[in-house]
Structure 1
């Protein structure tokens, strides 16, 4: 066991050294290492005070300087985290990029982007910040690779309020799908290996995002509401639920879209060709997922990809969307994604990125354990 702990400790040191060039001063580099180590520690809340205590400090000032005052390249660190994840679990055949958002409940009105808005975390309208994230998933593992803070118009239309929160005048309003597009664009420019993009209804119903993905030749399976208008093979505009309601009973196939906490997630699936005006070698489909226990429960997806893509591949991609939920759960429960106590725009990005880095380290450990290179023991044993 001692040799495993030593191996893990050496692995952590090597992992953090990947980011050292993003920090111009020794003190800020040391603070980064202590911060990430604290995020991996088994403490209930991972805020400035508890992270400082884990580092042996008498107060949170050092950790606060890392988030608020030291000069370092946060976006560069984000790119490094993405590269580390791809090195660990990247796979051109099974790689999927997933878009989703998560809420961070907050009190007051001064934290950057905070507003009364719908939070999926709470399942209702709450005072919260909303982060839009990109995850990468393959058969080898999954992790968060990009992030953007959503700023409601109530913020971007009040430049004094923005300046007080450290939001530069150049930062303008962007919808959540536009934030998603910018992150997917970065992933494409970085050349990360993936075959598909998937997302829930909030992004799937954004026609501009779907058209942009097509223009970049990006295969996608995007959830849409049942009222979504699609173009049938008879060149008629019809709602998704109306098209699927006419599918023959024999067209439904019972398939698993991946394993969940309680085993395979099995549903009935059907797929229909749509949009007859298409480029050679490409296909457009309307995919439907029907609950086995409640056939009235049907989810819908608009799909675009190679013309010969089989139903099983579309189902696999649709099912991979749950991977980002698992990423959120891991990052919130194990690396303090939502434990921050910061108000500034820059500080939000810095904490979130460092939390993503810590979660990426866990992804590497789990990959190595699956390969048999390591045995899983509590991370705190080597921190």
Structure 2
């Protein structure tokens, strides 16, 4: 079955007793036991809830994994993943990554003795060199946030196996409809389901999908033990968002292509980061490992001093953090999403005061271009 067909009906056939087409919201903390030593399969909603279970099963099917796990946020999902490691472990991580992930490793896990080593994961040789020094895991964003660099996931998967490292991919920007990291060698896929998976800017949620039962069981233990699970109402909202994921992504990608092409030709723009542009360094690599280029665009201004006026002047774009919703958003990563990364590192990476990031929504592309043309 094609993923689009599966998603259109996710949860629609679960309730055989009533025939409910929409997956019911099981807004309950606990479940009645049939008898002593007996269970319906559900006991307490932290350990398992039918609405959350359908979401988790849907994501496992989409990614081709053995199990999915839903969390109260994307950071809660990453925190669960990080619990696989112990003091003395070393993790190779994408250097231009979401600032919250950097904060998690630097402020929470480095003091516990878990070391994150940051490399350009679009540079396969740099990753190989870092893994050769010993690492328990490789965590990659691809495309990266906010510079949209593309890693060679197949090759990195081979390198991780060669060095005995767990390979995890943050697939938030792509979703399983555009990129399936488990099929490219990853062991675990991470999502901020707040973004494209839900797609309506009304839920905060996170997801993990594991390829093998051994890793899945450990992650499920941590999920239950720590308890940062996604509630049933939010699980239902994410399921509802998944039903339209295919049509949303198609329109968002078409809009992103139009916006990126406009920006690439504008004299006020020094550089555009969008893998859908033929001159993007990762264009061919992305074509070979994914079914699309996504709908995130970032660009560097020739004059960074104009950034505040652009943020204040846009009328259709919303000046807001997050991404992946039906509304188009604009943000300045250096002072918002990536503020926790030290200034020197941001400057070296190119996450400067002149870099603006766009999350392209479902509006008419001509209106989006006109809004940017006016403020530029």
Q: Same fold (TM over 0.5)?
A: no
Pick the structure with greater CA Rg: 1
Q: TM-score, normalised by structure 2?
A: 0.28
Higher RCO, 1 vs 2 (CA within 8 Å, ≥6 residues apart): 1
* Higher fraction of strand: 1
